[in-house]
Amino acid sequence: MTGSSLKDCSTCTACELASNRQTVVISRGNPDADVMLIGEAPGAQEDVQGIPFVGRSGRALDQLLQEVDLDPSRDLYICNAIKCRPPKNRRPKKAELASCRSWLDLQLAAVDPKVIVLTGATAVEAILGIKGGMTQLRGQWQSWNGRSVMPIFHPSYLLRNPSKAAGAPLDLTRQDLTAVRRRLCER
Ligand code: SF4
Whether 47 contacts 85, CB under 8 Å = yes
Whether 174 contacts 158, CB under 8 Å = no
The span from the CA of 114 to the CA of 170, in Å, is 24
Q: What rounded mean pLDDT belongs to the chain? A: 95
> What average pLDDT score do residues 50-67 get?
96
Mutational pocket test of ligand 1: of 17, 19, 23, 122, the residue with most ligand atoms within 8 Å of the beta carbon: 17
Q: Is the pLDDT of residue 19 over 60?
A: yes
Could you tell me if the CB of 103 is within 6 A of ligand 1? yes
For residue 144, the CA-to-ligand 1 centroid distance in Å is 23
* Residue 99 pLDDT level (bands cut at 50, 70, 90): very high
> What average pLDDT score do residues 94-122 get?
97
pTM of the model: 0.96
Residue 16: CB atoms within 10 A of its CB come to 14
Q: Which CATH architecture has domain 6-186?
A: 3-Layer(aba) Sandwich (3.40)
Could you tell me if the CB of 177 is within 6 A of ligand 1? no
Q: Is the pLDDT of residue 187 over 70?
A: no
The span from the CA of 54 to the CA of 52, in Å, is 6
Q: How confident is the model over 137-159, as pLDDT tens digits?
A: 999 999 999 999 999 999 999 99
Q: Is the pLDDT of residue 3 over 90?
A: no
Kindly give the number of the ligand 1 atom that is closest to the alpha carbon of 21: 6
Could you tell me if the CB of 134 is within 6 A of ligand 1? no
